[in-house]
Amino acid sequence: MIKGAIFDLDGTLFDSMFIWDTIGEKYLSSIGYEPKENLNETFKTMSLYNAACYYKSEYGVTLSVDEIMDGVNRMVEKYYINEVQLKPGVYDFVKHLHNIGVKMCIATATDKYLVEAALERCGINECFSEIFTCTSVGHSKDEPDIYREALKHLSTPKDDTVVFEDAIYAIRTAKKDGFRVVAIYDKSEDNQAEVKTLCDFYIKDYSDMQGFWRFAAPMKTALSIAGSDCSGGAGIQADIKTMTMNGVYAMSAITALTAQNTTGVFAISESTPDFLKEQIDAVFEDIYPDSVKIGMVSSSELISVIAERLKFYNAKNIVVDPVMVATSGSELMKTEALQTLIEKLLPIATVVTPNIPEAEVLSGEKIQNKIDMMDVAKSIGDKYGCAVLLKGGHSINDANDLLYSNSNFKWFEGKRINNLNTHGTGCTLSSAIAANLAKGLSLDESIRNAKDYISGALSAMLDLGKDSGPMNHAFKII
């Protein structure tokens, strides 16, 4: 989602370029000089200050630069104060950006007091935190200074900030300086073919903005490779709910069907290795996932297929939840599969998320306190080259989790919630981490967001089933 927007004024927000098409010649004639050229073309890329300097150097105007600028502004001010109108659809669009928290400012060649008058009259002045003019920054839009100053003011990441412009020369400048540019059609700009080629997105008018929202907020995607839980509390079902609630598009490749509920797992029917491969291929070849979460995989053959296909597609942001035993106590991984997971999945993982019993199996060491947690996390991380989030929810501490990454330790404190319904907590946490990684957050941020989410889901106190029931994954919308 875009976080910042830098708007040009004339031709972009307002239907006002007609004012400037003839103002250069009109002003010169009004002070007794005969234009020798098409001043509209001459002044097209100039700031008002530079235009005033041009009058003096090329026409011998004896007025000072400030007097010339004041004279031009007096000629056009009636239009800005009383007449110019927003382009159709601008009001609703700008208001919506403002309401969803997008930071906005103006970058224009027009004098600031004229801009303020027009914005206030049209009811959108509160949407813009600052007005930058070519005169105030000392350069026309042939140079990127005005966009740089605006970006500095907004304090938004450049990649998440969009420049809105209509003029080809300004679009060239912003693009050359690395900005994303949305081009707005205006009849004053003749070279629309080049405008369309240069810009990142082209708006004919503001009445239909569906395409813009796909450009501005492309949906991130996450793939869950895990088993199905027919009771909906864990596995693929929990993953899809969690990823969706954390703002990404969820996809799945099913490793096994299970017959299970809150009391236990009664049957497991594995996917064949060939069918799992077909599922993974189908996803990657059409909607490439921004992250991958791997949950229950019960056999060596399936683990080998997953590792091979993820390497083939150069998958990123891989979260491995080494599911060995269900919350109900049922075993979910064959003994021989463990070694394959250790040898083939952990080395390609971004992060592995074992609980205390799983970490003991992976390391072969006993964990009885926080020092043991640190030793085991370091042992696993150093041996397999991945980050380790060791979950402390098994009576070692009050749900404090330990991240070991790049030789550094970080504790994530969590308050133990008095809720016995914890079916699917491991699946939910790892899926939430994957969803946040897909959105471009750091591992630390992703873990913190995931822990906040799972705390909310547990705190909703959903009570379903005869034993340890599921959480309320949709607590945010109820």
Q: Catalytic residues, which ones?
A: 391, 422, 424-427
Which tokens go with 118? 């027009």
What's the chain's length in residues? Answer: 478
Residue 6's beta-bridge partner residues? 105, 163
Distance CA 16, CA 196 (A): 21
Query: Please, what sign has the CA dihedral across residues 459, 460, 461, 464?
Result: negative
What b/e readout covers 135-145, taking b as 16+ CB neighbours within 10 angstroms?
bbbebbbeebb
- Side-by-side strand order, sheet with 201-203: 131-133, 103-108, 4-7, 161-165, 180-184, 201-203
Query: Please, what sign has the CA dihedral across residues 63, 69, 71, 72?
Result: positive
* CB within 8 Å of 402: residues ≥ 6 apart: 370, 373, 374, 377, 388, 389, 390, 392, 409, 410, 411, 412
- Relative to beta strand 401-405, strand 408-412 is antiparallel
Which tokens go with 153? 């003011």
